[in-house]
Amino acid sequence: MTTTIVEMASPYGAWGAVGTAGTAGLREQLVRRLYDHHAPALRSYATALLGGDRHTAEDVVQETVLRAWRHADRLDASAGSFRPWLLKVARRLVIDRHRTRVSRPTEVSGDSVEWLSSGDESERKLSAIVVADALRSLSPAHREVIVEMYFRGSSVDEVARKLGIAPGTVKSRTYYAMRTLREALRQRGVTGPE
């Protein structure tokens, strides 16, 4: 005949003699005794399994003792020590945590969401359409300077040679083209640094 740990903890010696109200108190005593006696070993074991993560190890210990509380009426007191059962539960909890973490996508904080790309190209395409429309509002002379300098990456001297104008004229056209372009974008609802 096996004796459950609740029966063993009972001052009356038998589960039925205590009744339902006494059972809850015995379970609490059991949890306190298990925690006091086995928590340091469980914590060390879980910390080792978790690669040194003491905070998560403490969560594992708490959950292990909670499971002992839930299954107190099924644990066999005649087996001697409950530590092997507790260590097995702790090991399974660590494995479950690992599986859950691997199967779930990586969580990010709200602060880092700003720089994440959603993979949706609509924002980029919409911006390109607005910029192209604003560029069409420039005079042809201003537009070709902007295209050469900002879209093709040419230097002032390269643009001057290519267009057959003086470098000073390239600089002047660039200044006025950018001022006009900035106003055209503002009219289209695009704001930028002042």
pLDDT by residue (tens digit) across 93-124?
998 888 887 776 666 555 555 555 555 677 77
Distance CA 126, CA 16 (A): 75
Task: Tell me the CATH class for 5-103.
Answer: mainly alpha
The token pair at 127 is 């911006």
pLDDT for residue 152 is more than 50? yes
Q: Which amino acid is at 117?
A: S
Tell me what pLDDT residue 60 has.
92
pLDDT for residue 157 is more than 90? yes
Could you tell me which residues come within 8 angstroms of residue 171 by beta carbon, excluding any fewer than 6 positions away?
156
Q: pTM for the full model?
A: 0.44
Tokens 């990456």 belong to: 153
Average pLDDT, the chain: 78
Task: Tell me the CATH class for 122-187.
Answer: mainly alpha
If you average pLDDT over residues 23-43, what whole number do you get?
82
Give start-end residues of each CATH 1.10.10.10 domain in the chain. 122-187
Cα atoms found within 13 Å of the Cα of residue 114, Cβ hemisphere only: 2
Contact assessment for residue 15 and residue 4, using Cβ atoms and an 8 Å cutoff: yes
Q: Which amino acid is at 19?
A: G
pLDDT by residue (tens digit) across 37-84?
888 999 999 998 888 889 999 999 999 888 888 877 776 666 567 788
**Residue 133: pLDDT band with limits 50, 70, 90:** confident
